[in-house]
């Protein structure tokens, strides 16, 4: 592990770990509580609030599958290593379970509120009382034609063992009594995940009936000759983490096997209706082997994430006004020629306000351009339908040399990435899977083009994935450059991943796990040195997560030296701000809103007042986590082009720091509280939706009158 240097140890304040740091898992739960709070935000239309409720449910499912499952495994293996705040796995589990149950209760409260509001707007969810005879007849026909053929009722007795319930599996347990002899029997119907969670009843009224309710309503057709004396809906969450041994001989084969094992992992959570018959409850507990699983009782709805299907209701009046991303002006000024525009000047694109289509066009043009000889591309998450994959295939079929680094260890995208890898290989793309024990998380596209008898390299570096769907809701930065130094560094990066050729040096790029930690430490230490000699000293960062102890301690040291530190951390943050003697000069906020803040940006004052041309600005694919700095291939690159530098520093960062309408301020106790909008409320997302694009002529900040950052602590 990387150690701390002297300046990183010079921190005062409390010595106890729990007073210096926030537990990672509890910080994540606090983040999901902020997401859930948006489901009650009166500024949002009701279907958008339902979307936030659904997201909080899917977030929590993944948290249980991965993070809680990992802790359960540690407890069972009697591992007593402590977390950053000094808690053992068993102590963390106890605290997590209390918070998770509270989160479930709040989800149920919010669902009850939203359900009533939706009814007032003519959208009826899980409201069987709305069903008249025509709707009932339609549902019966739908059940017989579309549902019943794929269901398999199964008796539970010595001749019929308890069926396996897959991860995320939803089922209905029935108590039956035979008409002929009155004999009691239990039976189960598992609901295939291919079925819709909610069925919209045909007709003008928006009536949604859950699939489990439909099965219960027409269960008599599944069990003729039996009286149904009771039923209960339940849902299972299993351990879904995939562990790969370093000595895996065939990574692809190993992952295909591991994906199958994931579906059969240990049960981590059983969610069921709170009216469950005690005998049925005992049956589920015994058959599912609930050793250390969390039992969650729900009223009305099991599996809150399933409400995502209702959000698709065609009611524009109940959703955010539609937003169409702008196509970058700079590209249009060059008649749509990406290479001409990039050759003229470095470009930064701000998604989702500016269309991700420009990234796809960059690759499409490369595929069709007879002067392009090679394309190299990293792929972490590409989505189910990917024009990026299509462009790479087209390039290979056109005879170009195409290399794709496909990361098959991208959690929950492993199967899709294996499918893409297979299609790419069939088209003639050279597919590389990278390292066994590191994930390749860098977002890099490299195009080599022959111009005037010489080879020139064009690069795209991103803070987010090559995922067109996510790019419509994730805020990320795309940086295009024809700078030869960046091109040489990109080639070194690909050689490192494809051939394990570790670059001895780079000219522009900072690469993890080779040098990023050391570079960040050096940049922070430089600000400490400025503060100690009385120069202005400042650090601004925008991240998704900050959990690495060494990096946090370095920021504490900077705060103690008098460096002004402003952090925008959307999700997990283990740093405690505003603690006397430790983090007096650190301010942490989280932004939750219409778009998911995803870009990673660092800015260092360099001894000058910001915004200044001498401030050092970096964009990165990495968060402030140990896994990003030590166990992933990541990139961080300096932004030296004057226009791009100003756009990122004076527009993107300043807008994040100015936002009050969607921001939560973290306090010394680790608790987040909504910021007051103040006399001059500022909405980051609304600003970028209504102002000129970053890839215009560089004067958007001045034209719109965006205030500039000042070094005075807490001021903008």
**Active site (catalytic) residues:** 441
Nearest CA to 542 out of 591, 473, 611 is that of 591
Q: Say how many C-beta atoms besides its own lie within 10 A of residue 131's C-beta.
A: 18
Distances (CA, A) of 701 to 346, 655, 659, 679: 18, 10, 15, 21
Distances (CA, A) of 682 to 306, 321, 657, 676, 706: 33, 19, 10, 11, 10
CB contact at 8 A, 280 and 297: no
Distances (CA, A) of 42 to 39, 164, 590: 8, 43, 19
| Beta-carbon contacts of residue 292 (< 8 Å; ≥ 6 apart) | 72, 75, 76, 93
CB contact at 8 A, 430 and 404: yes
Q: Give, for 510, the enclosing helix (H) or strand (E).
A: strand 510-512
Q: What are phi and psi of 674, to 5 degrees?
A: -60, 135
Nearest CA to 361 out of 492, 458, 430 is that of 458
How do 564-569 and 538-543 pair as beta strands? Answer: parallel
What b-and-e string marks burial along 231-256, b requiring 16 or more CB atoms within 10 Å of the CB?
bbbbbbbbbbebeeeeeeeeeeebbe
Give 190-194's long-range contacts (Cβ < 8 A, gap of 24+).
190/152, 190/154, 190/163, 190/165, 191/151, 191/215, 192/150, 192/151, 193/166, 193/168, 193/169, 194/150
SS3 572: coil
What is the Cα–Cα distance from 617 to 602, expressed in whole angstroms? Answer: 6
CB contact at 8 A, 554 and 589: no
Nearest CA to 460 out of 449, 471, 445, 475 is that of 445
Task: Give the dihedral of Cα atoms 521, 524, 529, 533; nearest 10 deg.
Answer: -170
Rg, Å, the chain Cα set: 27
Read off the tokens for 542: 């925008």
How do 454-462 and 474-481 pair as beta strands? Answer: antiparallel
| Beta-carbon contacts of residue 612 (< 8 Å; ≥ 6 apart) | 605, 606
Nearest CA to 258 out of 240, 281, 275 is that of 240
DSSP string for 598-613: --EEEEE-TTSPSS-T
Nearest CA to 603 out of 554, 546, 654 is that of 654
How do 596-597 and 600-604 pair as beta strands? Answer: unpaired
Distances (CA, A) of 449 to 118, 343, 401, 650: 55, 12, 11, 33
SS3 699: coil
- CA distance from start to end of the chain: 38
Task: Give the dihedral of Cα atoms 250, 254, 256, 259; nearest 10 deg.
Answer: -160
Read off the tokens for 149: 């053929």
Q: Give, for 171, the enclosing helix (H) or strand (E).
A: strand 170-178
CB contact at 8 A, 33 and 55: no
Residue with tokens 């499912």, as numbered in its chain: 61
């Amino acid at each position: 592990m990387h150690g701390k240097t002297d300046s990183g140890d010079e921190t005062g304040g409390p010595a106890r770990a729990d007073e210096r740091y926030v537990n990672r898992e509890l910080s994540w739960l606090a983040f999901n509580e902020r997401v859930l709070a948006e489901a009650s935000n009166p500024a949002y239309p009701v279907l958008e609030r339902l979307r936030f409720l659904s997201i909080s449910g899917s977030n929590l499912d993944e948290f249980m599958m991965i993070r809680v499952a990992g802790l359960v495994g540690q407890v069972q293996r009697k591992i007593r290593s402590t977390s950053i705040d000094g808690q053992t796995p068993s102590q963390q589990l106890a605290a997590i379970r209390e918070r998770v149950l509270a989160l479930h209760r709040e989800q149920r409260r919010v669902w009850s509120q939203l359900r009533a509001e939706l009814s007032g707007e003519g959208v009826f969810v899980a409201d069987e009382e709305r069903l008249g005879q025509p709707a009932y007849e339609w549902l019966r026909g739908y059940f017989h034609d579309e549902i019943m053929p794929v269901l398999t009722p199964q008796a539970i007795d010595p001749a019929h063992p308890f069926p396996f319930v897959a991860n995320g599996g939803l089922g209905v347990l029935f108590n039956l009594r035979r008409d002929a002899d009155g004999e009691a029997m239990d039976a189960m119907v598992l609901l295939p995940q291919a079925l819709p969670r909610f069925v919209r009843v045909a007709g003008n009224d928006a009536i949604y009936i859950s699939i489990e309710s439909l099965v219960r309503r027409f269960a008599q057709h599944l069990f003729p000759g039996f009286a149904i004396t009771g039923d209960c809906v339940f849902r299972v969450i299993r351990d879904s983490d995939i562990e790969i041994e370093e000595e895996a001989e065939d990574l692809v084969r190993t992952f295909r096997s591991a994906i199958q094992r994931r579906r059969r992992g240990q049960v981590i959570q059983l969610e069921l209706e709170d009216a469950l018959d005690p005998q049925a409850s005992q049956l589920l507990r015994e058959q599912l082997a609930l050793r250390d699983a969390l039992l969650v009782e729900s009223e009305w709805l099991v599996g809150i994430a399933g409400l995502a299907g209702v959000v698709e209701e065609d009611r524009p009046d109940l959703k955010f006004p539609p937003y169409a991303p702008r196509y970058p002006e700079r590209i249009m000024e060059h008649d749509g020629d990406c290479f001409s525009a990039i050759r003229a000047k470095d470009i930064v694109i701000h998604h989702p306000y500016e269309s991700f289509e420009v990234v796809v066009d960059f690759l499409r043009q490369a595929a069709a351009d007879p002067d392009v000889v090679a394309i190299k591309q990293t792929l972490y998450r590409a989505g189910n339908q990917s024009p990026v994959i299509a462009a790479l295939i087209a390039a290979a079929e056109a005879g170009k040399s195409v290399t794709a680094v496909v990361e098959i260890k991208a959690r929950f995208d492993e199967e899709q990435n294996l499918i893409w890898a297979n299609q790419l290989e069939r088209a003639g793309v050279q597919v590389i899977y990278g390292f066994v024990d590191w994930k390749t998380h860098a977002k890099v596209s490299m195009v080599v083009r022959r111009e005037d008898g010489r080879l020139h390299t064009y690069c795209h570096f991103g803070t987010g994935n090559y995922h067109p769907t996510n790019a419509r809701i994730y805020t990320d930065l795309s940086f295009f450059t024809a700078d030869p130094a960046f091109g040489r560094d990109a080639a070194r990066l690909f050689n490192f991943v494809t051939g394990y050729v570790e670059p001895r040096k780079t000219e522009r790029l900072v690469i993890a796990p080779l040098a990023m930690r050391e570079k960040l430490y050096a940049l922070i230490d430089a600000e400490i040195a400025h503060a100690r000699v009385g120069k202005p000293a400042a650090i601004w960062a925008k991240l998704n997560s900050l959990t690495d102890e060494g990096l946090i301690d370095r920021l504490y040291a900077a705060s103690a030296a008098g460096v002004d530190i402003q952090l925008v951390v959307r999700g997990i943050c283990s740093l405690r701000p505003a603690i006397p003697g430790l983090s007096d000069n650190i301010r942490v906020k989280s932004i939750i809103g219409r778009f998911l803040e995803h870009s990673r940006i660092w800015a260092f004052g360099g001894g000058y007042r910001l915004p200044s041309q001498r401030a050092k600005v970096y964009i990165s694919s990495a968060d402030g986590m140990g896994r990003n700095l030590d166990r992933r291939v990541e990139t961080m690159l300096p932004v030296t082009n004057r226009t791009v530098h100003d756009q990122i520093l004076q527009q993107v960062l300043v807008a994040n720091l100015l936002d009050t309408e969607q921001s939560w301020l973290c306090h010394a106790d680790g608790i987040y509280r909504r910021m007051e909008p103040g006399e001059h409320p500022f909405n980051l997302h609304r600003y970028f939706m209504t102002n000129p694009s970053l890839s215009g002529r560089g004067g958007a900040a001045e034209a719109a009158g965006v205030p500039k950052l000042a070094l005075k602590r807490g001021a903008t």
